[in-house]
A and B are shown apart, each in its own frame.
Chain A
Amino acid sequence: MVEERRILYEHLDVPDINTFDVFRQYDGYTRFEKAITEYQPDDIAKMVMDSGLKGRGGAGFSTGLKWSFVPRDIKPCYLCCNADESEPGTFSNRYVLEKNPHLLIEGILICCYAMGIETTYVYIRGEFTLGKKMLDAAIKEAYEKGYLGKDIRGTGLNIDIYTHPGAGAYICGEETGLIESLEGKRGQPRNKPPFPAVEGVFGKPTVVQNVETLCNLPFIVGNGVEWYTQMGPTYADTRANPPTPDPNTGTKLYCISGDVNEPGVYELDLGLTCSELIEVAGGLRGEEVKAVIPGGSSAPILTHYELDTRLDFTSLTLAKSMLGSGGIIVMNETRNIVDCLLNIMKFYAHESCGQCTPCRWGTPWVRDIVQRIADGDGRKSTMTRPKFGVAENGRWGDTGETEEIYEDLDLLESVANNIANVDTMTWNTICVFGIAVSWPAVSYLRKFRPEFEAAIREGKLVTLPVAEATVPPEENYAYQQRFIPKEFADL
């Protein structure tokens, strides 16, 4: 069995690790001291680039690369730490804030030193009252001990950290939504470009980074790049010529919930498979895995055929899904996929910020179609049409058979694909929330179509046995690489 490797979470359960003195006993702030005494800011930025660290908040964008886009001559530059954590199925940041807030502060200090940043805002979701309290207390202590404020440890560095509470809107986790919200407005995402790295909060260059991403920094500086890159796989990206290395280095705080015996956060090297993770989390609760959501509710679903998919950024992108925030939700054979999709679509319909027409109207529309199907009122035509699929010549085309027309399923796919097209990876919206809506909608439908059809045919929700409910990979282009996905560039 795969062993947990606790790095970020190593001292999480040490009593009073949230206090400066205990944190200090466990190497606290020594990595920051090492950074300021042994390295120049540019060295740190280079180390982060070389470490291959990818953002843990959702987009999986290379942190070092993001930093390199920040113009060094425009000051002030801001750091926004994204502690909004609202993606359903994700709960790793909460524990850092509540139990080990000094680790986050140390990460922030290292980032600030590397980027020449003097002001950091930690945007904490409004419901995290305990997390905010703990972080506020830790920040206060760090000021008292001279690790924050003016002229830190006599180096001339000035760094301030402020916490900023959200107020219950999921979309404020999107980086430009977060920036708008921080400026005291509605959290409606901005058009990009300009990217926050160039023009972010208060019109200044801004680095937006997830809590977990920042917590990796002390360990990269403390133990070195070589140590860090040993963890997790590095692939060769053969789309480039010559192939470029595609690192998935480090550990990930996998959050696993749903039908497993021991749900929780497990810190493991990137790149273990889905079934291995279920094993680590105490095994499945139930008889059979029906489906797994690999990266928060926005990620396309995986079927039991895909349990050997490795849970890292690259492998999941190639499987036409994503690691996202690392929130893994497992469903067993008793679950109805239509019902699950309905739950998720209610979430998105509630959380759309309402700026773009396709998202504002399309998302409730998708929800209503799924609701109709779940209520047993799904629409089906009496006519048939030629069936498309993998034809005799092995290519996609007319199979020579006919199929029944389920109008509502066609409509569902069409509406979802018009918010954001999951095949071409193009979106008709300002932010990628659009994709977060159509990805689950289309993938659940394509991969578990029999269950949707059964609900319409029978006029009620029918939970089929796993084998019957799932479309096998060879028959379905949902699994196949029809297009090479454009990088999910949400920088």
Chain B
Amino acid sequence: MSDELIQIETPFAFNEENQREFDALIGRYPVKEAAMLPTLHLAQRQAGYITPAVMKYVAEQLEVSVMKVKDVVTFYPMFFEEPVGEYVIRVCHTLPCALRDCKGVLDHLKTKLDTDVAAETNLAKGTTPDGKFTLMKVECLASCDVAPVIMVNDDLHKNLTPEKIDEIIDNL
């Protein structure tokens, strides 16, 4: 067997805080499987991205097959199966933002961070070598009135101009 095929994984388990949150979650639904999305969000917050070990752990917790977890993870764009940067920068590029020059925003970020834009199946492409940033395009973030917008991790930044972008990035 070639070396790439052998994956040495550190096992995953929720830390105490997340375990408590998970225990609260599970009681909300008549079936455990329904807690899938919130559980995966929790796990991703802890592990950074969804590794096979995370999937296995989540599957055990929710009493479903690992395949089912994988099925869900591959469907939703917010779950990453590869490492991402410390700051994930999501640039909206749907029509209302496009009418307000989101392309300029994207180009500015590309030059500033000196990176390409991530593809959904190749996040490394948009990640800076130092692992600090991942740049990706996303669809409408429901803030078209303050377009163009980006999200840096959980925070929305509005009405962007090159100067504003510089300020945001430099302050990270």
Report if A447 contacts B (CB, 8 A): no
Contact B72 A89 (CB under 8 A): no
Report if B62 contacts A (CB, 8 A): yes
Check A184/B98 contact, CB under 8 A, given A94-B143, A167-B79.
no
What are the interface flags for A131-172 relative to B under an 8 Å C-beta threshold, 1 for contact and 0 otherwise? 000000000000000000000000000001010111111100
Report if B20 contacts A (CB, 8 A): no
Check A347/B98 contact, CB under 8 A, given A89-B144, A184-B34, A185-B72.
no
Q: From the candidates B34, B78, B93, B98, name the one contacting A168 in the complex (CB within 8 A).
A: B78
Report if B8 contacts A (CB, 8 A): no
Q: Which residue of chain A is the closest to B102 with respect to CB atoms? A: A343
- What residues of B have a CB within 8 angstroms of the CB of A184 in the complex? 31, 33-37, 62, 64, 72
Q: From the candidates B41, B72, B93, B146, name the one contacting A126 in the complex (CB within 8 A).
A: B41
Contact B99 A347 (CB under 8 A): no
Interface residues of A in 83-100 (CB under 8 A from B): 85-91, 93-94
Q: How large is the interface on A (under 10, 10 to 19, 20 to 34, 35 or more residues)?
A: 35 or more
Check A169/B75 contact, CB under 8 A, given A263-B147, A343-B95.
yes
Q: From the candidates A182, A265, A350, name the one contacting B145 in the complex (CB within 8 A).
A: A265
Q: Which residue of chain A is the closest to B75 with respect to CB atoms? A: A186
Q: Which residue of chain B is the closest to A188 with respect to CB atoms? A: B75
Contact A182 B28 (CB under 8 A): no
How far apart are B97's CB and chain A's nearest CB, in angstroms? 9
Tell me the bound Cα distance from A329 to B95 in angstroms.
9
Check A91/B34 contact, CB under 8 A, given A167-B78, A168-B138, A329-B96.
no
Tell me the bound Cα distance from A85 to B72 in angstroms.
20
Q: Which residue of chain B is the closest to A353 with respect to CB atoms? A: B75
Contact B139 A88 (CB under 8 A): yes
Tell me the bound Cα distance from A52 to B55 in angstroms.
47
Report if B140 contacts A (CB, 8 A): yes
Tell me the bound Cα distance from A461 to B125 in angstroms.
30
- What residues of A have a CB within 8 angstroms of the CB of B41 in the complex? 126, 165, 167
Contact A343 B98 (CB under 8 A): yes
Tell me the bound Cα distance from A293 to B75 in angstroms.
29
Interface residues of A in 40-94 (CB under 8 A from B): 85-91, 93-94
Tell me the bound Cα distance from A167 to B69 in angstroms.
14
Contact B77 A164 (CB under 8 A): no
- What residues of A have a CB within 8 angstroms of the CB of B154 in the complex? 129-130
What are the interface flags for B142-163 relative to A under an 8 Å C-beta threshold, 1 for contact and 0 otherwise? 1111110001001010000000
Interface residues of A (CB under 8 A from B): 85-91, 93-94, 125-130, 160, 162, 164-170, 181-187, 202, 255-259, 263-265, 293, 297, 327, 329, 331, 335, 340, 343-344, 347, 350-351, 353
Closest 7 CB pairs of A and B: A184-B36, A167-B76, A257-B144, A168-B78, A168-B77, A88-B140, A167-B78
